[in-house]
Amino acid sequence: MDTYTMRPDRFDRAGQDQLVDVRDLQAALPGIRRLRNWAHDALGLRLGEHAVDIGSGTGTEVMAFAETVGPNGSAVGVEPDPNLLASAERRAAAAGSTAKFHSGDAYGLPFGADSFDAALCERVFQHLTAPARAASEIARVLRPGGRVVVMDSDWGTAIVHPGDRQVVRDVTDTLLSATTNPYSGRRLPGLLTKAGLVIDEVGSHALVQDRTVGVGSLVTRISAMAVARGVITEQQREHLIDDLEAGAKSGDIHLSVTMFAVLAHKPH
């Protein structure tokens, strides 16, 4: 549950691999796994079809697509981060996967119109300043009848408990202001509809942080940002951290955000 994309050029090779491991750990959250399983079922890929993962990260989903579509199909990933792109290519090569990867972003997919039977886009829209452009790109590269699942967090649903209500509100407001497109989850159906796609299903899942994690890195960083911006005092931050740590020990803690998943198709 991380709103930040860390700059890859700040890491040496070992650091880059560590960044990959962190992202994989985040993706292994039970809620993310359940949504991804739902996405694969909803897309219903078949042998010989062509699929794309927009914002493919370390390439896990692209390799799963490649296995499903078989040798007569194709599975490609699009990723703007060169280090994640290189990691995905290494993984695919090591696994003997037919998955392919291309440098690019959601605003300009490096493919012609009507190229894919299915598309996936997970946790990308929250980082976009012009999400409508990305929705239009998805519609462009889908073939008539093609399916897409777009998944994203809606940080307006973030819950932090326990803690002083006003301090929690100030911290969550800081989180919203630090995110490019914080309400992306609730906006997905409208964006895809305006792009000419037809909504088939909308689902959601609350991603609940395991209480054994305690306060967690996200609240730790965002509360520090709130102090730096003068929104709360350092003393208020310390009290919030203390309350959350005590809650983690007693079992009275809840840190979550809701992720929305939308299945849509391009009409014939």
User: Is the pTM value of this prediction over 0.75?
Assistant: yes
Angle among Cα 116, 21, 120 to the nearest 5 degrees reads: 15
Where does 29-154 have alpha helices with state H?
30-43, 60-69, 82-95, 131-141
Whole-angstrom distance, CA of residue 180 vs CA of residue 195: 21
Whole-angstrom distance, CA of residue 118 vs CA of residue 50: 7
CB 129 within 8 A of CB 123: no
Angle among Cα 175, 178, 179 to the nearest 5 degrees reads: 90
For strands 50-54 and 142-161, give the pairing.
unpaired
CB 26 within 8 A of CB 60: no
Per-residue confidence of the chain (268 residues) as pLDDT tens digits? 333 232 233 233 344 444 444 455 555 578 888 888 999 999 999 999 999 999 999 999 999 999 999 999 999 999 999 999 999 999 999 999 999 999 999 999 999 999 999 999 999 999 999 999 999 999 999 999 999 999 999 999 999 999 999 999 999 999 999 999 999 999 999 999 999 999 999 999 988 888 888 888 889 989 999 999 999 999 999 999 999 999 999 999 999 999 999 999 999 9
Q: Which CATH superfamily is domain 8-155+180-207+259-265 in?
A: Vaccinia Virus protein VP39 (3.40.50.150)
